[in-house]
Structure 1
Amino acid sequence: MTVIVPRQDYPKDGMAAAVPVMEESLSEALEGIETSHNSRSGAVMESLNVALVRTVGDPDSVMRETWESWRLAMQVHSAVFAATTAPDRETVTCRVRHEERHLATTGPQTYLSAHTWIDAFYLAMICRDAAGLDMLARVPVSLLRAFGGRLDEYAYAWVETLQSFWLRCDDLGAHLVRAVNLCVPEQARTLDGDEMAKLCRPPVMMLYRYLRGDATGFNESLADALRQHKEYWTADEDRKVIIHGIVAIGPLAIACLAKANGLPVEVESGYLPEALLDFAWRGECDAQAASGA
């Protein structure tokens, strides 16, 4: 039986009016993405924000503009990490918004945190970008630690879990157990316990259920993840209008993984845009890849 988890309401007119301004800011950031760290940091933030805001008025992501915004967010997030994985080269070539961009290679930067990596991996899973996932799975965790910030240890354990999963490593179980143990409110240092419990932990538990092939448990954990996502982003008036609550990106990514590998997804929600979950733009991606777009 399909479970439905409604999404909270957002001010559609106000957010639609903000899209042109956000797109202009994103375009400016993309102009400097090849050499400027400020531009790369801005492009990472703005690209995801544009995708989220477009999804307010197009909750199933059925419009081409909405899909393109999610694809662009994926490209930007992958590109900034690709520029960290080729130290023997001066530039790396990445396709961003239908153009070849030659990004100067870099070392640790403040915007290359474990949290940004997790977003990048989620976006690549949503867009079914195997090449991007291969690249991200090989980003050294030591580089993510070296950026200088102080993050909860769970973030690094989750990165190692996702990398081990994608690369089919024998240590996946150990990394997953560590992530489960660290992703609890009692272990929160930089995040608040509510965020750790309701936003960070659910995707970890979904992956656990997926790996066991437990379709019933997986769908129960997905529905629970969406309910907790809603609880977190509707806890007060300030949170209700923050755009990061529009889509449950982590649960969506793990649900896309399950869907792509034959595990039935029996949950419907505005937090899970249907066209993204079903990869409805598969043919469009194939056509663009064939044409080099």
Structure 2
Amino acid sequence: MVTSIPRHDYPTDSAAEGLAVLKETASWVLGELEEPDDIGRAQALDTSLTLAQSHCAVDPTATKFDTWEAWVTAMQVGSALFASATAAEGPVPCRIEVGGEVRDLPATGPQPYLHAGAWITSFYLAAICRENQRAEELARVPVSFLRESGAVFDEYVYAWVETLQSFWFGREDTWDKLVTAVNGTDPEVARVADKELMLKILYPPLELFHRYLRRDAAQFNAAMVDALTWHKEYWSGNESRAMSSDGLVALGPLAIACMARDADMPIEVESEYLPKELLEFGWAGEVDT
């Protein structure tokens, strides 16, 4: 039995105008990637992801090519930033935008914007776009490198990064890393993220991953219902959140759902928070990334 969880109300009356402005901004930001300063690069991942999510305002199933193209571009940006930052020397050739030219990015080393949160976002995007090579490259980024950003996170975040990296390489410590990460999400332990954000947004991907590792389809789908219900509650919690494109797609749950689906686990939850064509990889073989 399939459970349906509709998206919260989101204004789409001026979506076309908003997308046009976002596209212009993204074009400028991406055009800065090869510059020696980091003005454009610091904004690149957030801007490209915002554009991808905003496409889903009027295309909630991600059936339009422009929507898929935006998600692929966000994925490419995330992986390119870490690839160029961890390279021994530059320039580092990175492909940005579907069918686009290879761009030569400088080797930047650690940067304030290359923190654990950006790594998790980039890994989620690689999972959604089924980019195994880019996911593997991200999995090789040392946690010590992420700590050099100077960003402040609850410690569980680093254990979550290590969990995903250990899983990718089939290491035996995956479960131990996951247990450490889950324990660190306890609101009594966490000091940076507030309780609501932790319980409704940050913790659910870890629970989903737990059920995915066990290949427990029934519990996975039950956890997905919870995750999307909490996602909806959080992003409709006040007017400011409800107006934000950040809540249109449940990024973490979607990424874990893509991994589960590719492992032949049935996904028995339907929602605009899990765009159908992204979940089912509807553009497989049709887009050169």
* TM bracket, shorter-chain basis: over 0.9
Deviations along 1:213-266, one digit per CA (max 9) or x if unpaired, are: 100000000111000101111111221111110000000000000011101100
1:152/1:191 contact within 8 Å kept: yes
Structure 1 counterpart of 2:285: 283
Partner of 2:85, secondary structure, is coil
Name the CA distance, whole Å, in 1 between partners of 2:71 and 2:90: 28
More deviation, 247-256/77-86 = 77-86
Structure 1 counterpart of 2:95: 95
Partner of 1:107, secondary structure, is coil
Structure 2 counterpart of 1:8: 8
Structure 1 counterpart of 2:146: 144
Q: Does 1:29 align with 2:29?
A: yes
* Amino acid corresponding to residue 200 of structure 1 in structure 2: L
Name the CA distance, whole Å, in 1 between partners of 2:188 and 2:23: 40
The offset of 1:191, in angstroms, is 1.4
The offset of 1:283, in angstroms, is 2.0
Structure having the higher helix fraction is: 1
Aligned-pair RMSD on alpha carbons?
1.0
Q: Does 1:264 align with 2:280?
A: no
Structure 2 counterpart of 1:67: 68
* Amino acid corresponding to residue 53 of structure 1 in structure 2: S
Question: Segments of 4+ in structure 1 off by > 4 A?
Answer: none
Decide which of 185, 210, 213 is 1:211's aligned counterpart. Answer: 213
Alignment of 1:40-189 (within 5 A): 40-87=41-88, 89-97=89-97, 98-189=100-191
Name the CA distance, whole Å, in 2 between partners of 1:164 and 1:20: 40
Structure 2 counterpart of 1:198: 200
Alignment of 1:200-239 (within 5 A): 200-239=202-241
2:87/2:109 contact within 8 Å kept: no
Name the CA distance, whole Å, in 1 between partners of 2:77 and 2:239: 31
* Amino acid corresponding to residue 218 of structure 2 in structure 1: T
Name the CA distance, whole Å, in 2 between partners of 1:184 and 1:68: 37
* Amino acid corresponding to residue 257 of structure 2 in structure 1: A
Count of equivalent residues: 286
Structure 1 counterpart of 2:18: 18
Name the CA distance, whole Å, in 1 between partners of 2:154 and 2:47: 24
Structure 1 counterpart of 2:39: 38
Name the CA distance, whole Å, in 1 between partners of 2:58 and 2:39: 30
More deviation, 264-273/189-198 = 189-198
Unmatched tracts of structure 2, length 5 or more: none
More deviation, 183-192/233-242 = 183-192
Name the CA distance, whole Å, in 1 between partners of 2:190 and 2:52: 29
* Amino acid corresponding to residue 277 of structure 2 in structure 1: A
The offset of 1:193, in angstroms, is 1.0
Name the CA distance, whole Å, in 2 between partners of 1:123 and 1:16: 24
* Amino acid corresponding to residue 31 of structure 1 in structure 2: G
The offset of 1:187, in angstroms, is 2.3
* Amino acid corresponding to residue 77 of structure 2 in structure 1: V
Unmatched tracts of structure 1, length 5 or more: none
Structure 1 counterpart of 2:253: 251
Name the CA distance, whole Å, in 2 between partners of 1:76 and 1:183: 28
